[in-house]
């Protein structure tokens, strides 16, 4: 019997190469196949993401969902930037769709690409994302990249609202904050529970219901671009003495294992707005599994009458593998979800 040592003998329709990482526990499967300049139509990163979604959404499903991924998988597609000033272009995806910005994913991509020599070790790496340019500053030790700090896009409190929800008698108060994605932020005191892993399924149901209720209640428009927006992520937080902790629900009910990079920025923007976090004051944000991002607001600005903050977050990512995924032409099971 002959053992096949590579994929050349398999009847494959397609194959994809990824570098997989986790950032403080949250995976990022980084797709390399568009890095060599393979064309994605469009004259902006958003347009390129739209063409990917139109033409290659099956690749997202193939790589994010079972049997190659799982319902909580997260991914990034890396490509040559559209913006001449950027070093790298990235957009983000999960098992349900796409996000405009991702903090843990950006840390994962920058850290892995530096460790693998795909990026040269500059002190500042500019990453083009659908939300705008994000600046990454790596810190090294003798073994390579130790941590990465990213300066996220300008973030701001959009407003607040109350929405009726099935799991409370009273309406729920929600703060709406933009930090590269629009967030619904909810204080867990209103739910009468602390944030921990004993109730993850309930938090997922609540998070999805809150997101839908706020999207029903508000017609969100980004104040600077005029683009229509919607809440993509619900962040339910508590503030114990040692460090703020949150559970972050997005996609089709995914839970971020990391403290959520954009979610940390959203929380800092909210705290600054209510006078509880000053510029340059260190902020620690803990995830549902106890991992942490360090955050800071480095600056505030007035933009079109809105106070925006410039937030940074710092965290560590590690490579978990490099993979070649194939779509065997005999295999009908390209993407599996159990309802
Ligand atoms: O780190 O910004 C983040 C993020 C968004 C969704 C999952 N993680």
DSSP assignment of 168-228: -SSPEEEEEEESSSEEEEEEGGGGT----GGGHHHHHHHHHHHHHHHHHH---B-TTT--B
50: enclosing H helix or E strand = helix 45-64
pLDDT of the residue at 320: 98
C-alpha gyration radius of the chain: 20
C-alpha span between 328 and 124 (Å, rounded)? 41
| Ligand 1 atom nearest to 260, measured from its CA | 1
Q: Is 94 in the pocket of ligand 1 (CB under 6 A)?
A: no
Q: From ligand 1's centre to the CA of 57, what distance in Å?
A: 20
pLDDT of the residue at 3: 67
3 state DSSP class of 59: helix
Counting ligand 1 atoms within 8 A of each CB, the residue from 109, 177, 233, 287 with the most, and so the one to mutate, is 233
Nearest C-alpha neighbor of 163 from the set 182, 178, 185: 185
pLDDT of the residue at 85: 92
Residue 100 falls in which region: left (phi positive, over 0), alpha (psi -120 to 50) or beta: alpha
Are the C-beta atoms of 70 and 78 separated by less than 8 Å? no
The model carries a pTM of 0.96
pLDDT of the residue at 219: 97
C-alpha span between 142 and 196 (Å, rounded)? 36
Q: Is 103 in the pocket of ligand 1 (CB under 6 A)?
A: yes
Are the C-beta atoms of 60 and 73 separated by less than 8 Å? no
Q: Is 214 in the pocket of ligand 1 (CB under 6 A)?
A: no
Distances (CA, A) of 292 to 60, 96, 114, 190, 302: 28, 26, 22, 24, 30
- Tell me whether 0.85 is exceeded by the ipTM: yes
> Among all chains, which residue has been given the structure tokens 């703020």?
244
Dihedrals φ, ψ of 155, to 5°?
A: -125, 155
Nearest C-alpha neighbor of 62 from the set 97, 91, 95, 17: 95
3 state DSSP class of 115: helix
Counting ligand 1 atoms within 8 A of each CB, the residue from 22, 24, 105 with the most, and so the one to mutate, is 105
Could you list the mean pLDDT of each consecutive 10-residue stretch along the chain, which spans 339 residues? 72 94 98 86 92 96 97 96 92 97 98 96 95 98 96 98 97 98 98 94 98 98 96 96 95 97 98 98 97 98 96 98 95 86
Q: Tokens at residue 33, please?
A: 């196949």
Tell me the catalytic residues.
102, 260
Are the C-beta atoms of 287 and 276 separated by less than 8 Å? no
pLDDT of the residue at 4: 66
Task: Tally the residues of the chain.
Answer: 339
Q: From ligand 1's centre to the CA of 28, what distance in Å?
A: 10
Nearest C-alpha neighbor of 152 from the set 318, 314, 316: 314
């Amino acid at each position: 019997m002959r053992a096949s040592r590579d994929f050349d003998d398999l009847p494959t329709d397609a194959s994809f190469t990824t570098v997989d990482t986790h950032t403080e526990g949250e995976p990022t499967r980084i797709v390399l196949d568009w890095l060599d300049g393979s064309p994605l139509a469009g004259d902006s990163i958003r347009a390129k993401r739209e063409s990917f979604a139109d033409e290659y959404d099956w690749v997202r499903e193939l790589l994010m969902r079972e049997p190659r991924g799982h319902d909580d998988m997260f991914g990034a597609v890396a490509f040559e930037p559209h913006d001449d000033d950027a070093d790298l272009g990235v957009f983000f995806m999960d098992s349900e769709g796409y996000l405009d910005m991702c903090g843990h994913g950006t840390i994962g991509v920058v850290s892995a690409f530096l460790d693998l020599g795909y990026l040269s070790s500059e002190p500042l790496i500019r990453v083009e994302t659908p939300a705008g340019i994000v600046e990454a500053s790596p810190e090294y030790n003798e073994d390579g990249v130790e941590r990465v700090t990213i300066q996220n896009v300008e973030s701001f409190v959009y407003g607040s609202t109350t929405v009726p929800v099935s799991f409370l008698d009273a309406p729920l108060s929600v703060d709406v904050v933009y930090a590269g994605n629009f967030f619904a932020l909810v204080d867990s005191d209103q739910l009468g529970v602390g944030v921990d892993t004993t109730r993850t399924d309930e938090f997922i149901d609540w998070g999805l219901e809150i997101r839908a209720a706020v999207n029903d209640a508000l017609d969100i428009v980004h104040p600077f671009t005029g683009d229509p927006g919607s809440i993509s992520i619900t962040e339910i937080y508590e503030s114990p003495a040692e460090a703020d902790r949150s559970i972050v629900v997005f996609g089709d009910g995914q839970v971020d294992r990391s403290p959520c990079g954009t979610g940390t920025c959203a929380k800092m923007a909210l705290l600054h707005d209510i006078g509880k976090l000053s510029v340059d004051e260190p902020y620690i944000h803990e995830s549902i599994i106890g991992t942490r991002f360090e955050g800071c607001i480095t600056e505030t600005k007035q933009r079109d009458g809105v106070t925006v903050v410039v937030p940074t977050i710092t965290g560590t990512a590690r490579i978990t593998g490099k993979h070649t995924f194939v779509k065997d032409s005999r295999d009908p099971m390209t993407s599996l979800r159990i309802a």
